């Protein structure tokens, strides 16, 4: 399974993606709103969870490569959150790209393609996206791909300590009109 856009290939993960993905997860700029930087073992475990999601759900997070370079620059895709909250059960659309690829519209381009695949091919009735309240770049992507925010949906992430500054989260929703 893979999807393409004008500039991106969204594909299954390969074993040789681990080093590039580990470097992304070790970048403090990338992890600013996600938590502590990750070790290579933590990234390897995350890749195993991603592979298992594809097997159990029929969807997951795609490895993202630029069509002009083909190396892994992050992920864009779908996940089922692993915590309880008022909006569960749900499918989340999300992204994480290497910082040198920010500000070029790549997350938006890939997320639009994944959104359309989720709704039109997988026939999911709705999608959500969530992030730390202060993560304005991701919130802008959410808005650009047609998700809407209702402040009544905002929540404190249950897996983060009460004093963790990353705990306040916003939730955006996408429900197709057809």
> Considering the chain, what is the average pLDDT of its residues?
95
Contact between 114 and 93 under an 8 Å Cβ cutoff? The reply is yes
Distance CA 20, CA 65 (A): 11
Where do the domains of the chain lie?
3-174
3-state helix/strand/coil string of the chain: CCEECCCEEEECCCHHHHHHHHHHHCCHHHHCCCCCCCCHHHHHHHHHHHHHHHHHHCCCEEEEEECCCCCEEEEEEEECCCCCCCCCCCCEEEEEECHHHCCCCHHHHHHHHHHHHHHHHCCCCCEEEEEECCCHHHHHHHHHCCCEECHHHCEECCCCCCCCCCCEEEEEEECCCC
Partners of 27 in the β-ladder: none
Q: Given a cut of 90, is residue 175 above it in pLDDT?
A: no
Task: Encode burial over 132-162: b for 16+ CB neighbours within 10 A, e otherwise.
Answer: beebeebbebbeebbbeeeeebeeebeebee
Q: Given a cut of 80, is residue 70 above it in pLDDT?
A: no
Confidence of residue 178 (pLDDT cuts 50, 70, 90): low
pLDDT digits (tens, 9 = 90+) for 131-152: 999 999 999 999 999 999 999 9
Average pLDDT score over residue span 79-88: 92
Contact between 9 and 70 under an 8 Å Cβ cutoff? The reply is yes
Contact between 153 and 116 under an 8 Å Cβ cutoff? The reply is no
This prediction's pTM? 0.94
Average pLDDT score over residue span 155-165: 95
pLDDT digits (tens, 9 = 90+) for 24-65: 999 999 999 999 999 999 999 999 999 999 999 999 999 999
pLDDT score of 1: 86
State the sign of the Cα–Cα–Cα–Cα dihedral 50, 51, 55, 61.
Answer: positive
Q: What are 84's two structure tokens? A: 């309880």
Q: Given a cut of 80, is residue 122 above it in pLDDT?
A: yes
Fold for 3-174, please state it: Aminopeptidase (3.40.630)
């Amino acid at each position: 399974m893979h999807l393409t856009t004008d500039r991106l290939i969204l594909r299954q993960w390969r074993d040789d993606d681990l080093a590039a993905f580990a470097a992304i997860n070790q970048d403090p700029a990338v992890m600013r709103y996600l938590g502590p930087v990750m070790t290579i073992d933590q990234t390897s475990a995350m890749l195993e969870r991603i592979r298992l999601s594809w097997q159990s759900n029929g969807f997951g997070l795609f490895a993202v490569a630029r069509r002009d370079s083909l190396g892994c620059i992050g992920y864009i895709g779908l996940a089922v959150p692993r915590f309880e909250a008022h909006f569960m059960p749900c499918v989340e659309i999300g992204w994480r790209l290497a910082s040198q690829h920010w500000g070029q519209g790549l997350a938006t381009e890939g997320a639009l393609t994944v959104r359309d695949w989720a709704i039109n091919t997988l026939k999911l009735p709705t999608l959500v996206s969530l992030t730390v309240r202060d993560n304005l770049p991701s919130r802008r992507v959410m808005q650009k791909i047609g998700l809407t925010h209702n402040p009544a949906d905002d929540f404190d992430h249950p897996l983060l300590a009460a004093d963790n500054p990353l705990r306040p989260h916003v939730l955006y929703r996408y429900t197709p009109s057809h």
